[in-house]
Amino acid sequence: MNIDFPGKTVIVTGAAHGFGRAIALGFAERGAIVHACDVNEESLAETVKLCGNKAKAHRLDVGDRTAVQATVAAIEAETGGIDILVNNAGGVRGQVGRPIEEISEEDWRVIFDVNLSGAFFMSQAVAPGMKAKKAGRIINISSGAGLGISLTGIQAYASAKAGQIGLTRQLAHELGPFNITVNNVAPGFVLSNPASQKQYEAMGPEGQARLMQNIALKRLGAPDDIASMVMFFASDFANWVTGQVISVDGGK
């Protein structure tokens, strides 16, 4: 199965490291022009460098609707339209699991802003252009936490990722008549960035052993495993696939 995207315009959010960097590289290696977005400008520059002449960096907080609208409009004006959006920006914003009574309003909101509101704002911004072209791909990156529970006990993260899965299914039906597919990749636990490394260390030896025991393949995955599923959803091989959530987690 050969998958490529010559001449396609792709936006990848959360592209500074981890899944986002692997996804950006995957598209760039297959001929797409990647518009990589993140708040971490230093690491984002490294992603763009790795992509060669196939990428451009945009500093963007996806939780800021005004900034999202302006960035998407600028990309559309430059390229003539966006073909693929990958809503990868997310994470736990440095938090670890704590009892519910210790969670502040800010702790709750900051996770929702990047994981759920950001996916909505980005999808909202690209939808009119995709509708006009009667073509498009939107791929959301959720988590196994959105299908079950957060392994680290972070209430807002599990809730936001579950909401993102609901958004995926709703938008698939709303945008389907315009030949726009909306799908979701739900990764298992992957050591993809400093935040996931911190979570893993917080589990301790016993928690890490339990985690591994519950994976059918008895090993953790890599960012490229997630990127590969994104490539499929974005490709012509997934022309009649929408509203789906695929777990890439080593088997549960």
The DSSP line for 88-153 is -----TT-----GGG--HHHHHHHHIIIIIHHHHHHHHHHHHHHHHT-EEEEEE--GGGTS--TT-
No. of helices (H) and no. of strands (E), the chain = 8, 7
Q: How many CB atoms lie within 10 A of CB 213?
A: 8
Residue 86 phi, psi (nearest 5): -115, 110
Among all chains, which residue has been given the structure tokens 């992509």? 51
Which of helix, strand or coil describes residue 39?
coil
Let me know if 200 is a catalytic residue. no
Catalytic residue from among 5, 27, 121, 157: 157
Name the residues annotated as catalytic.
157
